[in-house]
Amino acid sequence: MNSENIHSDADQPCSNAPEEGAERPGHFAAMQENLRSPEDRIRMLEQKLVEQAEQLTASNLAVQQNIEALKKSKQRLREREARLNSIFNAASEGIIMIDRKGIVVTANAAVKAILGYAEEELIGGNISLLMAPDHAVKHDRYIQNHIDTGISKIIGSVREVEGLHKGGWTVPLDLSLAKFFIDGEIFFTGLLRDIRQRKLQEKENREHLEELAHVTRLSLMGEMASGIAHEVNQPLTAIVAYTEVCVSLLMSPNPDHVKLAGILAKTNQQALRAGQIIHRMRDFVRSKTTSRTSASINQVVKDCIGLCSTEIKLQNILFCLELAENLPLVYINEVQIEQVLLNLLRNAIDAMHDLPVDRPRRLVLCTQLDDRQHIEITVKDSGPGISDADRAKIMTPFYTTKKNGMGMGLSISRSLVEAHHGTIRFNSQDGNGCTFYVTLPPKELVNEF
Ligand code: ADP
């Protein structure tokens, strides 16, 4: 029987018939085996056993090597985790991880130092526990917005927020957020930096500047005293004239009572005006308060001009006032903003003081809305302007080009304007006049800051 016969036998139909050709070599080998002697078969079996044992030993070795490699990588992971944990807990910034619903997943030791809660008190609870109520609402909205739209207002930026300490008080914080994914689920990591010290420093700086502003006000007052004396003198002169008329009317045989009453009313008005000037002067010198009220910027501008109109006239300055109508109200400390505008007006007047006689002296003061719908006040003069070299210096404290200047006016003005969430800038070309721009937000927007 040759191999082909065997082949055809194997093809006979049978209930367990293998697919064509699938078992033929095995079948053939089995038949060959049957032909071998028992010793041969034992030898072959032993040979097979040796081969299998070798295979098993090799695969056992491979498994052992795999286990070793796994152990090593597990060890490396443990070391890495220990290193990260030590960084996590040694960080002076608080680190908190939350899920998409704001549930705390983990928090480091610094969180306890900053906000009083230990990690175990936070895990599983909502992050809003650590926030002032109004911020908690905003935070939930920001996170949801980010998940819904993918647009990020808070991811990647640092914002100042107020944390809520376990003891019930608020703590100013810098908060930065990052997001990450585990198995497609979004998580957020928040980094909290305690900024109490910085805030304290800022407060001290502000108080220091206020102190300086007070000193400057006093020195400005000295310079303006003559102008104000002139202002007060005008109503006093009018009062003298009116009372003289009243006396002569009363001395006449038939005093005209109606006329008399009219003149007395005018006298009363002038006395009130003199009183207002004195009051304003007193507030200006004494005021250290930072209380704010709603005000019309045009009215504040007019009050300032009243304080330096004499100076403007004396220096033959052509003055132009362009006030936009229907401007929204501002929310300001009037005395401080008056101080800013007076300083700009005084600088403009000083700048034109030494102009040659044939050069026009023009001072333009405008109010208008800028393209952000903030109120903009411009003070423009036709003086010598500011040289390239001076441009970078004039806003810095104690820089002055005046013989009797203090160099504090502009830096104080800037801190006052910025404390009102406004801006101050200037535009000038050497020899070509100078324009200062002050912007202030309208009252309705102040709450947003
Ligand atoms: P001070 O008036 O005491 O010098 P400021 O801080 O108000 O202090 O001004 C600083 C400097 O800025 C001034 O000395 C002057 O050189 C320059 N400066 C300010 N305003 C003008 C202006 N309108 N034109 C030219 N220079 C100006």
Inform me whether the pLDDT recorded for 229 exceeds 80: no
- What is the pairing mode between strands 434-440 and 362-369? unpaired
Inform me whether the pLDDT recorded for 154 exceeds 60: yes
CB 349 within 8 A of CB 362: no
- pLDDT, position 421: 92
Compute the CA torsion angle 269, 272, 276, 282 (nearest 10 deg).
160
CB 180 within 8 A of CB 190: no
Atom number, ligand 1, closest to the C-alpha of residue 408: 6
pLDDT tens figures, 164-202: 999 999 999 998 888 889 889 999 999 999 999 988 888
Label residue 226 by pLDDT band (50, 70, 90): low
Atom number, ligand 1, closest to the C-alpha of residue 347: 20
341 touches ligand 1 (CB under 6 Å): no
Q: Please give the residue that has the higher pLDDT: either 33 or 233.
A: 233
Vertex 242 angle, CA 312 and 231, to 5°: 20
CA 347 to centroid of ligand 1, rounded, Å = 5
Report d(CA 423, CA 89) in Å as an integer: 41
Inform me whether the pLDDT recorded for 118 exceeds 80: yes
CA 400 to centroid of ligand 1, rounded, Å = 6
Q: Which two tokens stand for residue 70?
A: 């796994």
Helix axes 257-286, 196-251, angle to 10 degrees: 160
Atom number, ligand 1, closest to the C-alpha of residue 397: 6
394 touches ligand 1 (CB under 6 Å): yes
Label residue 115 by pLDDT band (50, 70, 90): very high
CA 334 to centroid of ligand 1, rounded, Å = 22
330 touches ligand 1 (CB under 6 Å): no
Largest CA distance in the chain: 170
Inform me whether the pLDDT recorded for 1 exceeds 90: no
pLDDT tens figures, 59-85: 999 999 999 999 999 999 999 988 888
| DSSP per-residue string spanning 155-223 | BT-EEEEEEE-TTS-EEEEEEEEEEEEETTEEEEEEEEEE-HHHHHHHHHHHHHHHHHHHHHHHHHHHH
409 touches ligand 1 (CB under 6 Å): yes
- pLDDT, position 251: 93
Strand order in the sheet with 185-194: 104-107, 94-99, 185-194, 170-182, 158-164
Average pLDDT, the chain: 83
Quick one: 440 exposed, middle or buried, by C-beta within 10 A (0-12, 13-18, 19+)?
A: buried
CA 234 to centroid of ligand 1, rounded, Å = 31
pLDDT tens figures, 251-303: 999 889 999 999 999 999 889 988 887 776 666 555 555 578 999 999 999 98
352 touches ligand 1 (CB under 6 Å): no
405 touches ligand 1 (CB under 6 Å): yes
Average pLDDT over residues 119-137: 86
Inform me whether the pLDDT recorded for 127 exceeds 70: yes
Q: Please give the residue that has the higher pLDDT: either 396 or 332.
A: 332
- pLDDT, position 35: 65
399 touches ligand 1 (CB under 6 Å): yes
CB-facing half-sphere around the CA of 227: CA atoms within 13 A: 20
Report d(CA 417, CA 376) in Å as an integer: 12
Average pLDDT over residues 96-118: 93
Domains, the chain, with CATH or none:
91-194 (3.30.450.20), 201-446 (3.30.565.10)
CA 394 to centroid of ligand 1, rounded, Å = 6
* Tally of CB atoms within 10 A around 438: 25
Residue 284: closest CA among 333, 345, 349: 333
Inform me whether the pLDDT recorded for 217 exceeds 70: no
Question: Phi, psi (5° rounding) for residue 252?
Answer: -70, 155
Vertex 449 angle, CA 447 and 291, to 5°: 65
- What is the pairing mode between strands 318-323 and 293-295? unpaired
351 touches ligand 1 (CB under 6 Å): yes
406 touches ligand 1 (CB under 6 Å): yes
Q: Which of 359, 394, 414, 435 to mutate to test the pocket of ligand 1 (most atoms within 8 A of CB)?
A: 394
Q: Is 29 helix (H, G, I), strand (E, B) or coil?
A: helix
CA 405 to centroid of ligand 1, rounded, Å = 8
- What is the pairing mode between strands 94-99 and 185-194? antiparallel
pLDDT tens figures, 328-382: 999 998 878 988 998 899 899 999 999 998 899 999 999 999 999 999 999 999 9
386 touches ligand 1 (CB under 6 Å): yes
Inform me whether the pLDDT recorded for 228 exceeds 80: no
Residue 271: closest CA among 249, 245, 242: 242
